[in-house]
Amino acid sequence: MDGYTLADSLTPRAFSEMAGLDYEVAKALYGAYALEQDQYGQLLSGLDEYAVPLFDLLVFLKDSAEDYHLTLTLEDAGVSDTEDLFDQIESAQRQLKNDRYSRMVLYLNLPVESDETFAFLDTIREVAGQYYEGDYYVVGDSTSARDLAESFVTDNLLIGILSALFVIAVLLFTFRSAALPVLLIVVIQGSIWINFSIPTLTGQPLYFLGYLIVNAIQMGANIDYAIVISSHYQEQRALLEPRQAILKAVNAAFPTVFTSGGIMAAAGLLIGNLSTQPVIAIMGNCLGRGTIISIVLVLGVLPSILVLGDRIIERTSFQFKGVDWNLRSVKGTVRVRGHVRGYVSGFVDGNLGGILHGQLNATLSTDGQISPADEEGGDGNHA
């Protein structure tokens, strides 16, 4: 009303003019308020210059007017719904003050996140500490942003290490090799690093929660592409040389990797370019871009790593107790006894007992036997 706010302090004259009340009635209200607050000096010196915050005056009017038999009501000031007004004042009071804490709202002409803003938060804490002896809290968007920024580095490092260790543990038992899981993690982590270095180089802001989400999705989804190629490579490596094995592995895995990765990349880029929410748009672009980078590295870099690290992978491989497979290549007429998996003039995977004519190039369990045999099917000496 008339440019006044609830935080403004008004004298009896100003209040009477704002509310359209008789000046003597306004002074009576101020006198009752001073008596309630034990401010007897104001009663003795006069109430003409006595200024009271409008908020406190209205709260007093609501709580104590009847006790002092004041006939003043806000209807006299032209306010039609005093009950609604008092409800609003009571709600505001609960937000700003209770029996233990009071709340002060500060508006800063600074960005929500900046070094200057974070430095000023220290100034606020320093000044508040002079009056409240440590029992105070500075909250708000800027404080939250600062707390998240301080904890993000530690949390992100911990999450990254644990995620990599869990993935390595799973792949360790899948491929039964100590080196292969590490090579796969290096490729995927490299794609993640390249993906998130682009916003840094271009100066594009990145929401920290979006970083964690995209990081987890890219790690979990894109590692599958590397697993597909590695699985095919191990199957072909049992029969072929490294270069030939990787060519067949890439050819076999290409449709799966390209189809799955293409769908994810397209979905991410569409979300990034169509969403009107900046945070969601950035997450979509990062996911689509990261998937494309992962596909390029898996199809272009991982094959070379597998070939170059073939000896390391082989030397760090291990077998569980039980059936131990070893590669045997025999040409001629031989007797085979035991479980055979491989190509014998066509692929064979089963328990065989008999004589094979042709070339044998397959894995054989250690309890199996291979021995030369004569053309008539003699037993020969078991290998």
Average pLDDT over the chain reads 79
Q: pLDDT > 90: what percent of the chain? A: 8
DSSP state of 370: E
3-state secondary structure of 381: coil
Decide if pLDDT at 280 tops 50.
yes
Mean pLDDT of 161-181: 83
Please check whether residue 77 is in contact with residue 19, taking contact to mean a CB–CB distance below 8 angstroms. Answer: yes
**Burial of 251 (C-beta count, 10 Å sphere; 0-12/13-18/19+):** exposed
Domain segments of the chain as ranges: 9-96, 158-315, 325-372
**What pLDDT is attached to residue 379?**
45
Domain 158-315 adopts which CATH fold? Multidrug efflux transporter AcrB transmembrane fold (1.20.1640)
**What pLDDT is attached to residue 381?**
36
Decide if pLDDT at 113 tops 60.
yes
E strands, the chain, in order? 9-10, 52-53, 325-343, 347-365, 369-372
In this structure, the number of other CB atoms found within 10 A of the CB of residue 63 comes to 12
Q: Tell me which amino acid residue 97 is.
A: K
**What pLDDT is attached to residue 363?**
67
- Torsion sign over Cα 259, 263, 268, 269: positive
Identify the band that residue 375 occupies on the pLDDT scale cut at 50, 70 and 90.
Answer: very low
Nearest in space to 66 (alpha carbons), one of 27, 29, 24, 21: 29
Least trusted range by pLDDT, from 65-79, 146-160, 196-210: 65-79
Euclidean distance between CA atoms 295 and 41, whole angstroms: 82
Decide if pLDDT at 46 tops 80.
yes
pLDDT tens digits for 53-79? 888 888 887 777 566 555 455 555 555
**What pLDDT is attached to residue 376?**
45
If one compares 316 and 265, the residue with the highest pLDDT of the two is 265
Q: pLDDT > 70: what percent of the chain? A: 77
**Burial of 16 (C-beta count, 10 Å sphere; 0-12/13-18/19+):** buried
Decide if pLDDT at 347 tops 60.
no
**What pLDDT is attached to residue 40?**
82
